[in-house]
Amino acid sequence: MNNPFTHVTTSIVAGLIATALFAGAGIPARESNVEASQQVTKYVRYSHEGNTSYGVLEDTTVYELDGDIFVSPSRSGRRMPLADLTLLAPVEPSKVIAVGFNYRSHIGSSPVPEDPGLFAKFPTSIIGPDAEIVIPSDAGDVHYEGELVVVIGSTAKNVSIEDASDHIFGVTAGNDVSERAWQGADLQWVRAKGSDTFGPIGPAIVTGLDYNDLLVETRLNGETRQSASSEDLLFGVDYIVSYISRYVTLYPGDVIFTGTPGSTRAMKPGDVVEIEVQGVGVLRNTVAAAH
């Protein structure tokens, strides 16, 4: 005989997860940052019963997609409760590019750079929601950096600022994990920024938001440590995409970390860090020591 409470329990769990990850908990009320001509859609990538798929999240239900999410995907007809799925990084980029020193609150009294300061992380740094940020055994000063992350939707090379938005698929939340001692000691930031697990992103890619005015917050063990709007970026999203495309061809699925606001502090094993972007949801990861 079927348990009459099973469906109710599943629904409650799914609702709690969706509320925590996607409802914008902890972000104060602001005017809607949705483009009037666009519909907000939340794309997730997930595993279920050994298979990896993309889907569209609506409330607490995920609708499975067939085809490339960047080229007219269609719904397969299958749907599942969010609570039954394991969310993964919402995209698998071929390249991960980041911008440094892009908030006045982060650079302090230092001069504003004339151009965006670019560096690269590795695709192997990318992890998804609830995956562990693993601190290497010889690391001593690993910091969080909450950021708005741009996801490219179509090939971009030498695009103008005016046309940059045509090549942006959507946005997600990201944590540009950084080892400060290595940043100062190494020739390049290969270890400091590109180590495995140093690039959490998620929980969803969201289309239809005004990425020029989204609140970005970081919480460490529940305490808010960073809070700023993307409208405070020294170099805006469209400018960044155009600038990068002068030198590097951007492909669908590539991601750009746009910079972190304010100050950052070290994380230690056992800490829980949450990056929340307005309209996107909460990217939550636990910090762990290398095994």
Residue-wise pLDDT tens digits, 135-163 = 999 999 999 999 999 999 999 999 999 99
Q: Say how far apart CA 170 and CA 36 lie, in whole Å.
A: 15
Architecture of domain 6-86: Roll (2.30)
Counting residues of the chain whose pLDDT is more than 90, the rounded percentage is 84
CATH topology of domain 96-289: Fumarylacetoacetate hydrolase; domain 2 (3.90.850)
pLDDT at residue 38 in the model: 72
Q: Say how far apart CA 27 and CA 14 lie, in whole Å.
A: 21
Cite the DSSP H helix spans in the chain.
Answer: 6-22, 104-107, 180-185, 190-194, 237-245
Counting residues of the chain whose pLDDT is more than 70, the rounded percentage is 88
Q: Say how far apart CA 274 and CA 65 lie, in whole Å.
A: 28
Between β-strands 126-127 and 199-207, what pairing exists: parallel, antiparallel or unpaired?
A: parallel
Segments making up each domain of the chain, as ranges:
6-86, 96-289
Please report which confidence band the pLDDT of residue 30 belongs to, taking 50, 70 and 90 as the band edges. low
Report whether 33 contacts 237 (CB < 8 A). Answer: no
Please report which confidence band the pLDDT of residue 9 belongs to, taking 50, 70 and 90 as the band edges. very low
pLDDT at residue 8 in the model: 38
Burial class (CB in 10 A: 0-12, 13-18, 19+), 269: middle
Q: Say how far apart CA 264 and CA 266 lie, in whole Å.
A: 7
225: number of Cβ within 10 Å: 17
- Residue 165: pLDDT over 60: yes
What is the DSSP-derived secondary structure letter of residue 66?
E
Please report which confidence band the pLDDT of residue 112 belongs to, taking 50, 70 and 90 as the band edges. confident
Q: Say how far apart CA 89 and CA 221 lie, in whole Å.
A: 22
Strand extents, DSSP E, 59-191: 61-66, 74-81, 86-87, 96-100, 117-121, 126-127, 132-135, 142-143, 146-152, 168-175, 178-179
Please report which confidence band the pLDDT of residue 74 belongs to, taking 50, 70 and 90 as the band edges. very high
Average pLDDT along the chain: 91
For residue range 56-71, list pLDDT tens digits in order: 999 999 999 999 999 9
pLDDT at residue 98 in the model: 98
